[in-house]
A = this chain, B = another copy of it.
């Protein structure tokens, strides 16, 4: 079974959407990535940091999904990273109301000994220096390194970001970020520029419009499943990334054709994530539900055409 190491935030979120609001609930990029990847047969671990205000029950939840949590540092007397946000009516835009870094401000990630030979490495959205620190602790290059990042790091830590980008195989960013990173409006040209920065594979996440995978001249497009109601988009991108790398880690096949499947699985899992607040839907999601929804993705995208 492949080893999959995930680094990213484990956090408290407070979320407000047109459907309702939550108090502090479980959140964080590594949480969503881990829960999503846990739907596959992988041996996974999370490297992160929390305060001792973090409920044992949340750690137990991750453990119950066979996620190794020994790399989650618990800071005595520290407070867990907290994000509060409010989604607008269109659910595509949101305002950040509160960001308290807390223990995350001094995060020095330590990769557990048992995961220094990880096969797959997922660098969730974090300060690029922290992502780099994880790469440096792994002596033999993993079979695949996937990096997620966002515009905040482009605005504030450009040089560090470019350095870590140069070390990875796959980058996942949204369309506006791809444009910002590359200085190109066309996503085709943007991907070309980003290839030159390092990643052979560029995954451009377009939210409700789906995701585009680019590898040189090869392209693949996975739509998002059109849903009657998006209850809470929080974590959808991380869930996508977790499904993507989880599927690859299970199948141990990083060919472009298999990455197509990984993108479909990422979209599949993300379509569940948004159905309930926070991580709730991912907590009780079953493989059977995923399998059924895969059928809907096939109906949505597959056609049999006769050349005319």
Residues on A lying within 8 angstroms of B by beta carbon are 40-41, 89-91, 185-189, 206, 209-210, 212, 214, 218-221, 223, 226-230, 247, 250-251, 257, 260-261, 264, 287, 291, 294, 298-308
Contact = CB atoms under 8 A, between A and B. Distances in A.
B260 A303 contact: yes
A188 B223 contact: no
Given A227-B186, A230-B186, A303 B218 contact: no
A127 to B, nearest CB: 31
B220 A226 contact: no
Nearest to A291: B307
B303 A247 contact: no
A299 B298 CA distance: 15
A188 B299 contact: no
A257 B304 contact: yes
Contacts of A90: 185
10 contacts: A89-B185, A91-B185, A186-B227, A187-B226, A188-B228, A210-B223, A212-B226, A221-B226, A221-B301, A251-B308
A261 B303 CA distance: 7
Contacts of A206: 209
A100 B223 CA distance: 39
Contact of A219 (B218, B294, B299, B304): B299
Contacts of A210: 209-210, 221, 223
Contacts of A294: 305, 307
Contacts of A230: 186
A40 B223 contact: no
A246 to B, nearest CB: 10
A305 B209 contact: no
Contacts of A223: 210, 221, 223
B308 A287 contact: yes
A299 B228 CA distance: 29
A24 to B, nearest CB: 28
Contacts of A229: 186
Given A257-B303, A264-B303, A291-B308, 6 more contacts: A91-B185, A220-B299, A221-B226, A291-B307, A301-B301, A301-B303
A219 to B, nearest CB: 6
A278 to B, nearest CB: 21
Contact of A220 (B89, B300, B304): B300
Of A287, A300, A303, the most chain B CB neighbours within 10 A belong to A303
A221 B228 CA distance: 15
A244 to B, nearest CB: 13
A-B pairs, top 3 by smallest CB distance, nearest first, are A209-B209, A221-B223, A260-B303
A186 B308 CA distance: 35
Contact of A308 (B247, B301, B307): B247
Contacts of A219: 226, 299-300
B264 A305 contact: yes
